[in-house]
Amino acid sequence: MPTLTLPAPAKLNLFLHITGRRADGYHLLQTLFVFLDFADEITLTVRGDGAIHRTVGAVDVPEVADLTVRAARLLQEVTACPLGADIQVFKRIPMGGGLGGGSSDAATVLQGLNRLWQCGLSDDELAVLGLRLGADVPVFVHGQAAWAEGVGEQLTPVDLPACWYVVIHPQVHVPTSELFSASDLTRDCPAITLAAFHNGVGANVFQPVVEKRYPEVAEAISWLSQYSNARLTGSGSCLFAPVSSRQEGEIILQSLPDKWCGFVAAGVSISPLQQKLVISPTLYN
Ligand SMILES: C[C@@](CO)(OP(=O)(O)O)[C@H](O)COP(=O)(O)OP(=O)(O)OC[C@H]1O[C@@H](n2ccc(N)nc2=O)[C@H](O)[C@@H]1O
Ligand SMILES: Nc1ncnc2c1ncn2[C@@H]1O[C@H](COP(=O)(O)OP(=O)(O)O)[C@@H](O)[C@H]1O
């Protein structure tokens, strides 16, 4: 049966402001998404019997709740596709760390099965479907670094200069919903422009809230700030800082306290998924 292996990259939120709230309680954001060349790997194999199974995946995510399985079922339902799939998810991206791994996995499954099942949906149609699974799925479907508004689905592509980042996971799980409901979260940021961001305006509004509730994250931010401008990504708990080269990042990581994990990755404007899809439109065998 046809098989396809694709990357599901991590993202960083280079800044994240909340500008207001929708009537349904969801928060309106301004953020800048960039991708990392650090990714989960997903292998999809077509099944003729219509069943969808996750044959490899994170042990602490039940198969039925896995965003890859939910994405496959959604695409199957919407397109009335009679085919199924076996899904292998090799996780590298820390979960619940603000790196968007679950959303990225879902986007990769939508893109991969759209091809394997020959559904013929456009990127825009896949992004609309993806939004039903999570606010961050559309940006991963399009795979282009973007200025984002709304809940993160109103995307304007941007081309950012290549950059290296040190990313640290303080081994703390920070639940996104808890942070969005925090009383001390700033929800009235004035709207800014991309030009203002490039002039140094912009912060992550979750950062002070997370630092107050999770001292371990505050300690990690303070540690990384010795070397470069450290900031939280998404709702945390991972943090990142720009560095001038992979080598500089690796040197910083040599002093990383054992209790935390870290890696160095390149920030890229075209996601590793889009790069692979564009280079070889008929990838599967
Ligand atoms: C904060 C961001 C920034 O990129 O990323 P992560 O930290 O998750 O990577 C996203 O906005 C995360 O969006 P999304 O992926 O939809 O968050 P979920 O975990 O599904 O949302 C959990 C809960 O947070 C609240 N929520 C979420 C998004 C939003 N714009 N407003 C909200 O109020 C809702 O109550 C929702 O039920
Ligand atoms: N394939 C998946 N990979 C990671 N997390 C998943 C997956 N499917 C469902 N989840 C759930 O989504 C939550 C958020 O995961 P993730 O997207 O990695 O983090 P974040 O939203 O903080 O960037 C996890 O805690 C997990 O319970």
pLDDT digits (tens, 9 = 90+) for 9-18: 999 999 999 9
Which residues are annotated as part of the binding site? 94-104
Q: Which ligand 2 atom sits nearest the alpha carbon of residue 176? A: 22
**Domains recognised in the chain with CATH numbers:** 1-285 (3.30.230.10)
Contacting residues for 136 by C-beta, under 8 A, at least 6 apart? 11, 33, 100, 103, 104, 152, 234
Question: Is the minimum distance from the CB of 27 to ligand 1 under 6 angstroms?
Answer: yes
What's the whole-number mean pLDDT along residues 145-161?
A: 96
Sign of CA dihedral 246, 235, 161, 5: positive
Of ligand 1's listed atoms, the one at least distance from the Cα of 234 is 7
At 218, the amino acid letter reads A
- Ligand 2, residues 95, 110, 173: which to mutate, most atoms within 8 A of Cβ? 95
For position 285, what pLDDT does the model report? Answer: 45
Q: How far is the CA of 58 from the centre of ligand 1 (A)?
A: 21
Q: Is the CB of 180 under 6 A from ligand 1?
A: yes
Q: What is the ipTM, given to two decimal places? A: 0.96
pLDDT at 29: 97
Q: Which residues contact 155 (CB under 8 A, 6 or more apart)?
A: 138, 139, 142, 144, 146, 147, 148
- Which residue would you say has higher pLDDT here, 281 or 114? 114
- Tens of pLDDT, residues 198-255: 999 999 999 999 999 999 999 999 999 999 999 999 999 999 999 999 999 999 999 9
Task: Give residue 186's pLDDT.
Answer: 98
Binding site membership of 97 for ligand 1 (Cβ less than 6 Å): no
Does the reported pTM lie above 0.95? yes
Task: Specify the residue with its C-alpha closest to ligand 2, atom 7.
Answer: 102
Cα of 73 vs centre of ligand 1, distance in Å, is 22
Mean pLDDT of 18-44: 97
How confident is the model at residue 280, as a pLDDT?
67
Residue 282 has pLDDT above 80, yes or no: no
Closest ligand 2 atom to Cα of 101 = 18
**Ligand index nearest the alpha carbon of residue 90:** 2
What is the residue-averaged pLDDT of the chain? 96
* Whole-number percent of the chain with pLDDT over 70: 98
Alpha carbon distance 52, 74 (integer Å): 11
Name which residue sits closest to atom 4 of ligand 1, judged by CA: 234
CA of 151 to the centre of ligand 1 (A): 8
CA distance 189 to 200: 15
Q: What is the pLDDT of residues 35-91, one digit of tens each?
A: 999 999 999 999 999 999 999 999 999 999 999 999 999 999 999 999 999 999 999
